[in-house]
Amino acid sequence: MSKTIRTLAMLAMIVPIVACAPTDTSESTGEFLDDSVITIKVKNAIIADPALKVLQIRVATFKGRVQMSGFVDSQQMIAHAGAVVADVEGVKSVQNDLIAK
């Protein structure tokens, strides 16, 4: 009986740890928080840039990969936004899905 109780206790400790482990389609809590910080930095960089200053750009971050979507005025703004975002600390890659109006 004692061995069964120890096994169940060990399983009770391991299951929450495994349940929080990241996969290809999910993030750990730490990764989620890191991505939230990256998203804030990216949005601030876009707003602070005098050539951009557009609020129509949506930003999503997953495991350091930033996706931008929305509408801007020109192809030059698309390229510039991609360069601005790529320079933000913590950004691993940029998927630029912006569209010129």
Condensed to tens digits (0 to 9), the pLDDT of residues 40-52 reads: 999 999 999 998 8
Cβ atoms within 10 Å, residue 3: 7
Question: Domains plus CATH for the chain?
Answer: 24-100 (3.30.1340)
* Per-residue pLDDT at 21 exceeds 60: no
Name the band, by pLDDT with cuts 50, 70 and 90, for residue 16: low
Two tokens, residue 69: 């979507």
